[in-house]
Structure 1
Amino acid sequence: MTEQPSYYSIITANVRYDNRLTDSEKILFAEITSLSNKYGYCTASNGYFAKLYEVTKVTISRRIANLKECGYLQC
């Protein structure tokens, strides 16, 4: 069994109700912000998120690109 993270995440209202984002992008945003709150910035790789959500790195890259385009992430 793969060990799952044990912290909680919050999705802010502006993200939750943004129709430009998919549900998966909203959950990814919550995951990224949780990791950012712990360290001050997110150090997790696209590979980490791909494995966590059982999708490809390309899928994670697309989700991150849309979050950036909508103004929710900076790199």
Structure 2
Amino acid sequence: MTEERKWVQYQLTKSIFKKGLTPIESLILRSIEALDNGKGCFATNEYFASFFEINVYTVSRNITKLKDKGYITVRLERKNNNKTKRILKVKRASHYTEQSEINGVINYINGMFKEEHDFEPIKPTTEIKKAIQQKIKEYHSQKELIQYLKMHRDNFLSTHGVSLWLKGQLNI
């Protein structure tokens, strides 16, 4: 029985070996980037282990290191009761200030509910700003936080619901 392999093509240049990353971390990072079809990379540790002919635990450790060093995000989505799907995304360098990211989240939340008859915009109070700052850290980026808000919009019902969730007073 022959083994079928899926190949990823990319150029190996000096720039792939980023400062502070080991060669295998750099190669896994570049592979995640190459496999991302716009919705994230769904490759398993077993796939990478087979592709690079290394141990699956080595892959796991290196993916954790990439996450801890801030190069990737790892999100798990429940497919059914017994299985989850892992989504790896390369973080893009952002040149936005923390304040502009917070304001962007506030604007996004207000935009989500502006057509509602009982719309009351979230005001950028110190408490809300700190809560959003914490959620951005929790979700690893402004983009990931906004994706979560978008996916769960119907669960919040209003800006008030989002405000409660941001402050940790509502579980969604």
> What TM-score do the two structures reach when normalised by structure 1?
0.77
RMSD: 2.4
The answer to which of 2-11 and 44-53 deviates more is 2-11
Q: Which amino acid aligns with 1:16?
A: F
2:67, 2:42 → 1: CA distance? 16
User: Are residues 23 and 6 of structure 1, via their aligned partners in 2, closer, same or farther at CA, if it must alter by over 3 Å?
Assistant: closer
CA contact (8 A) 1:9 1:31 kept: no
* Residue of structure 2 equivalent to 1:33: 33
1:39, 1:72 → 2: CA distance? 17
Q: Which amino acid aligns with 1:8?
A: Y
> What TM-score do the two structures reach when normalised by structure 2?
0.36
Larger RCO (alpha carbons 8 Å, 6+ apart): 1
* Residue of structure 1 equivalent to 2:41: 42
Larger Rg: 2
Unmatched 5+ residue regions in structure 2? 75-172
1:33, 1:9 → 2: CA distance? 12
Q: Describe how 1:1-75 pairs up with structure 2 within 5 A.
A: 3=5, 5-8=7-10, 13=15, 16-19=17-20, 21-36=21-36, 38-75=37-74
| CA drift at 1:42 | 0.6
1:71, 1:23 → 2: CA distance? 17
Deviations 1:20-70 (A, max 9, x none): x1011101100011101x242111100000011111110000110110011
Pick the structure with more helix per residue.
Answer: 1
What's the % identity of the aligned pairs?
30
* Residue of structure 1 equivalent to 2:116: none
User: Are residues 46 and 16 of structure 1, via their aligned partners in 2, closer, same or farther at CA, if it must alter by over 3 Å?
Assistant: same
Pick the structure with more strand per residue.
Answer: 2
Q: Residue 74 of structure 1: SS of its match in structure 2?
A: strand
1:43, 1:65 → 2: CA distance? 15
CA contact (8 A) 2:46 2:56 kept: yes
Q: Which amino acid aligns with 1:40?
A: K
Q: How many aligned positions are there?
A: 72
CA contact (8 A) 1:25 1:64 kept: yes
